[in-house]
Amino acid sequence: MQTLTATRVLIPGVIGPYDAHVNLAADWNGFAQPLFTLDTVRQISTDTQAQADECGSDAVITVHVIEGDPGAEGEPRAVVLTVNWQWWCQDGGAKKVTAIAEPTADGLYGLPGSSLCWEIETWDCACEEKNPWHVTVCQCGQLRDMQVAVPDGMVATRVCVDGLATYPAFVVEHARRGHPITPYFPLDAVRELAADTQKAAAQYDPRSAETIHVLETHPDATGNRGTLVLHADWVTEADEGPADAAKVVVPNEHGLYPVGPDWHWSLACWWCTCGWDNAWHSAECRACGLTRAGQPTTPLEAAAWRAGRILRTLAPEATSALIDLHDAARICAVYAGDTEIDTADDTGVFDTETLGEADEALRQALDAAAPGDLAKSKWEHAPDTESADLYRIAFSPAHH
């Protein structure tokens, strides 16, 4: 049984994007083979026929939905077909150019008999990573739902209540940690918040909880949904009744929802490897300048960063070091680009204490490393004629 992933597809510069289900493990000459709901097929039908009217049928594969009367149980009936008009004159006629689509058991339609070159839509993260549409969180941690134009006077960040789960939101740009804020949430974040509040209410005391609910219609022919966000205060319901307990949360002009404005929202933070905490929307650490996206991802990478920071207190130009792991980690050379920096006690810029502190940071990480961590790290094995245990570690760009 094939595994389908909900995503969006398009033919770049031609039609789309459309909601679809795709088996990511299967393709046709490198292109996706999407399955669509009948409502989406209707929209594709409208779009392809409009293109045929504009460009001529010979240049366009058209999709058609022939609607039938409801069946005995009132279910809509339809025949979906594709027509590849460019084959009309190539011996075969109507049967050659026409293909009928059979729905799957779930009522999804492929578009057979055509050479429609579908591609999975992508979205560009602020970190410049390009992600498939079905990947909702970039590898840098930023959400697809937040890759929109930031309203004037606001910043994209993450917020939390009492230090619990964090949610993507927009806040005024002068918001500060430790001060009350009113966040505005995109709809995907509201859905996540709704699930969490309902789960917490069921787990603890529903009578004293406040829950968020998202009510949605099925998509229309254009893929749009009717959406209503409801805030239920169950303490108020017990005291004053449901009419006073339920409030509809109305989105602002940007489609963002001010959910729980009187809750104790605060800015979420991220911790830098240097030990400082920073507001989530701060791209760089306020103490050392290391970016959130550039944080070390393993203990050995973090140790290399710490060693570099220690060495740069006396040699700001340092860019890498050579480590000898024989017996115990020991820095045997420091470089500024391709130039070796003098490390001799009597003539070099370093003192014994500074080199020893950097050595110790590396040793502690190596002692705590699991088998195989060194091979997976960014430490570059650089053996020479004198030692097979030499590794080069590169320092992140210096912050000025």
Query: With bands split at pLDDT 50, 70 and 90, how would you rate the model's confidence at 29?
Result: confident
Query: With bands split at pLDDT 50, 70 and 90, how would you rate the model's confidence at 147?
Result: low
Query: Would the pLDDT of 69 be above 80?
Result: no
At residue 358, the pLDDT reads 93
Q: Which helix (H) or strand (E) holds 80?
A: strand 77-84
Q: Which residues of 288-318 are buried (b: 16+ CB within 10 A; e: fewer)?
A: eebbbbbbbebbbbbbbbbbbbbbbeebeeb
Query: Would the pLDDT of 195 be above 60?
Result: yes
Q: What are phi and psi of 331, to 5 degrees?
A: -75, 120
The C-alpha atoms of residue 94 and residue 61 are separated, in whole angstroms, by: 14
The C-alpha atoms of residue 26 and residue 110 are separated, in whole angstroms, by: 13
The C-alpha atoms of residue 393 and residue 372 are separated, in whole angstroms, by: 17
Q: Bridge partners of 67? A: 78
The C-alpha atoms of residue 63 and residue 57 are separated, in whole angstroms, by: 12
| SS3 assignment, position 51 | helix
* pTM to 2 decimal places: 0.56
pLDDT digits (tens, 9 = 90+) for 89-132: 666 667 778 888 999 988 899 987 557 889 999 988 877 788 89
Q: Average pLDDT, whole number, for the chain?
A: 85
Query: With bands split at pLDDT 50, 70 and 90, how would you rate the model's confidence at 74?
Result: low
For 17-21, 73-77, 132-136, 384-388, which range has the lowest pLDDT when averaged over its residues? 73-77
Query: Would the pLDDT of 355 be above 70?
Result: yes
Average pLDDT (264-283) is: 87
The C-alpha atoms of residue 73 and residue 230 are separated, in whole angstroms, by: 34
At residue 163, the pLDDT reads 65
Crossing angle (nearest 10°) for helices 352-368 and 299-312: 180
Query: With bands split at pLDDT 50, 70 and 90, how would you rate the model's confidence at 335?
Result: very high
pLDDT digits (tens, 9 = 90+) for 211-263: 999 998 765 545 566 889 999 988 776 677 677 778 999 999 888 999 998 89
Describe the strand order of the beta sheet including 265-267 as a list of residue ranges.
166-172, 154-161, 265-267
At residue 274, the pLDDT reads 85
Q: Which residues of 58-84 are buried (b: 16+ CB within 10 A; e: fewer)?
A: eebbbbbbeeeeeeeeeeeeeebbbbb
Average pLDDT (380-397) is: 87
At residue 113, the pLDDT reads 59
Is pLDDT larger for residue 317 or for residue 2?
317
The C-alpha atoms of residue 197 and residue 249 are separated, in whole angstroms, by: 15
At residue 398, the pLDDT reads 62
* C-beta of residue 372 within 8 angstroms of C-beta of residue 343: no
At residue 209, the pLDDT reads 83
Identify whether 17 is preceded by a cis peptide bond (ω within 30 of 0). Answer: yes
